[in-house]
């Protein structure tokens, strides 16, 4: 629900039952631009040549990101802000890949991206 900027709730009355509810923002698919949307993972995307300094800079960020699932996009974006201004082109590329993954909400790919820095 968070990923879709919605809400979810429960109203329970003892002896009467429970009502579960949720809201989602209505969208207009005609206005969605898929320009630049990439769904394939190239070998280049999977193998970023991180330097020792890159790994040291990313280590605390990755530790923080591991506490979240890909569906917690606001939390992930907030953490990524800490490295968005990195001088490392490798880290900038990695941040871009993580942000692209936020669009697809692919948890497996998110875990891969957290792991490639450790390889």
In a domain, residue 36? The reply is no
Q: Which of 54, 55, 46 is nearest to 108 (CA)?
A: 46
- pLDDT score at 12: 87
| CB of 112 closer than 8 Å to CB of 97 | no
21 occurs within a structural domain: no
Confirm whether 47 is domain-assigned: yes
Domain contains 107: yes
Residue 12 in domain: no
Note the pTM of the prediction, 2 decimals: 0.61
Name the domain count of the chain: 1
End-to-end distance of the chain based on CA atoms, in angstroms? 33
The pLDDT of residue 38: 45
Give mean pLDDT, residues 65-72: 92
Average pLDDT over residues 108-117: 89
**From start to end of the chain, where are the E strands?**
7-13, 17-23
- With respect to residue 6, please indicate whether it lies within any of the assigned structural domains: no
Domain holding 57, by residue range, is 41-118
36-45: average pLDDT: 48
106: number of Cβ within 10 Å = 16
- pLDDT of 81 > 60? The answer is yes
């Amino acid at each position: 629900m968070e990923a879709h900027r919605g809400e979810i709730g429960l109203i329970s009355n003892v002896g009467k039952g429970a009502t579960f509810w949720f809201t989602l923002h209505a969208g207009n698919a005609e206005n969605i631009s898929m320009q630049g949307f990439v769904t394939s993972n190239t070998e280049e995307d999977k193998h970023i040549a991180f330097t020792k300094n890159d790994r040291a800079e990313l280590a605390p960020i990755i530790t923080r990101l591991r506490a979240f699932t890909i569906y917690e996009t606001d939390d992930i974006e907030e953490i990524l802000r800490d490295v968005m201004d990195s001088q490392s082109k490798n880290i900038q590329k990695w941040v871009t890949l993580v942000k692209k993954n936020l669009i697809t909400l692919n948890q497996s790919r998110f875990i891969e991206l957290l792991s490639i820095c450790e390889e």
